Chain A
Amino acid sequence: MNPKRVLVVDDEPSICEGVVIIMSREGYEVRQARSGEEAVEMATREDFDVILMDLILPGMDGAEACAKIKEQRPGVRIIAVSGSPAGQRVDKFMRSGGTDVFLYKPFGKKELIAGVKKALELA
């Protein structure tokens, strides 16, 4: 079976690197993007199974990027990554039709793997 493809979108380099290392070891294929625009571009070009989207990004924010990606790839599962449960960005994201899988920063290996598995179950 083909390995599942994961895209992590975050402007924090250590998060991207950490996700790449951990999820690769778990047998996933992982790519990273540092901005909303980059994420939209990559997701349009390539097929991903799960996208980890930080909601707070420079330029185009995560919620907007999600909406754009869903237009092109309606089947992709999106995990919203956020600093806290409350906030306008979470509201906006939920209204734009994102999945209800949330990952709250700071998360570690355990939460990351569990989150990705849950998102895939929903597919």
Chain B
Amino acid sequence: MTQLKSLKKMIKVEERCKLLSSAVEQSSEGIAISDLEGNLVFVNRAFAAMHDYTTEDLKGKNIVILHAPDQYPSVEEANRVLQREGVFTGEIRHRRSDGSSFPAFMHNWVLRAEDGRPMGMIGTMRDISDQKEAEERLKEYSERLEQMVEERTNELDKVRADLFISTKLAAMGRMGAGIAHQLNSPLCGGLLMVDSLIEDAQGDAKQQKRLATLRKSLENMRDVIECMLTLAMVGRRGKSIEVDADINDILQKILGLVSLETQQRRIEVRTSFDKAVPRTKTRLGELDQAFLNIINNAIDVMADGGRLSVETIYNDGRISVEISDTGMGIAPEDMGRIFEPFFTTSQGKRGLGLGLSIARDIIEHHGGTIEVRSELEKGSIFIIKL
């Protein structure tokens, strides 16, 4: 080879060296080369800067200074993989010059000479702090989103259940109202006929007893029909008639209606009507129904006698009606459900378990409130404010 040719070759090689050198120096990936013991032979600017050092600081230092003691186990593991497979790729935490640590994504491999003999280690790394933070936030959002979806789903389920019940009630109400109206006529005929038969049975105790039973069953039918019709009425807000009514009168009328029952069950009836209670705007028949339902409820729980108290108080512009019984009371776990439609705690209760829920609907539609207080074995008191 002539001197010129070898000179040209040298220049080419030198240029190539300069090019590669610049590439490595200026790379934004951290690049470091160490010997097999981990002593740093070369670090580029990015690598040093990532750790908050200058390239001078790191010359000759061992890579162990780039890690905090608690990071050693993961570094040792990475080294084991490197020795076993010749390559390691993964996340390792590194330590900066000020002691703070950061997560890095590394790609390390064994640097070999042309004959395959390992010469040292080379690694590229990237500070992935930002990336990790973004991952964390994403995870947080994802979890929060899942939680929100679950909450919304639960809410929706509840709304759907409520809707189902109310449409079921509305449909039942409409259907029931039609049937109930049609049942009223033959039932009325039945009652009249039974009454005339009872007249005929004067002097025949056995016959009278049977006819009394028959009348009772017709009255039960009447009560169920009444429930259904009120249910339908409650649904058809716009069609009721408004009248001024005396609440004391209504209560007295209702007590009159149930006087036979209270006598038969040996229930003592105590009343206290505040004369100051003024006439109030009501929808015809509805408060009658509400009070009837509550009083019937009280009578139902005192099958073997007790005391039914009905009291009205006019105070501060508000009318309070208190209806109390001395029944077995309401269990704490049932208190929240007592006004639910179809909820019933007693056996043999007449109607469909709708009485109290209808009563509450009516009272609320009159702008009032109803609450119940109860003590097991002592009794319950329903407080209505209008």
Contacts and interface: CB of A to CB of B under 8 A. Distances in A.
B354 to A, nearest CB: 16
A96 interface: no
Given A84-B181, A86-B241, A15 B195 contact: no
Interface string B177-190: 00011001111111
A106 B224 CA distance: 12
A85 B283 CA distance: 10
Contact of A25 (B187, B199, B236): B199
Contacts of A86: 233, 236, 239-241, 283-285
Interface string A79-123: 000011111101100000000000001111110100000000000
A105 B199 contact: no
Contacts of B241: 85-86, 90-91
Nearest to B221: A106
B185 A87 contact: no
B126 interface: no
A13 B189 contact: yes
Contacts of B187: 105-106
B258 to A, nearest CB: 14
B229 interface: yes
A19 B190 CA distance: 11
A55 to B, nearest CB: 11
B191 A108 contact: yes
Contacts of A54: 185
A42 interface: no
Interface residues of A, number: 30
A60 interface: no
Given A86-B285, A87-B239, A90-B241, A14 B196 contact: no
B196 A109 contact: yes
Interface in B216-233: 218, 222, 225, 229, 233
A38 interface: no
Given A18-B192, A106-B184, A84 B222 contact: no
Contacts of A22: 192, 195-196, 199
A17 interface: yes
Interface string B97-137: 00000000000000000000000000000000000000000
Interface string A57-95: 000000000000000000000000001111110110000
Given A11-B185, A85-B284, 20 more contacts: A10-B185, A14-B188, A14-B192, A15-B192, A18-B188, A18-B193, A19-B192, A21-B196, A22-B192, A22-B199, A83-B229, A84-B181, A85-B241, A86-B233, A86-B240, A90-B241, A105-B184, A106-B184, A106-B225, A109-B199
10 contacts: A12-B185, A14-B188, A14-B189, A16-B189, A17-B189, A22-B192, A86-B285, A105-B185, A105-B188, A106-B188
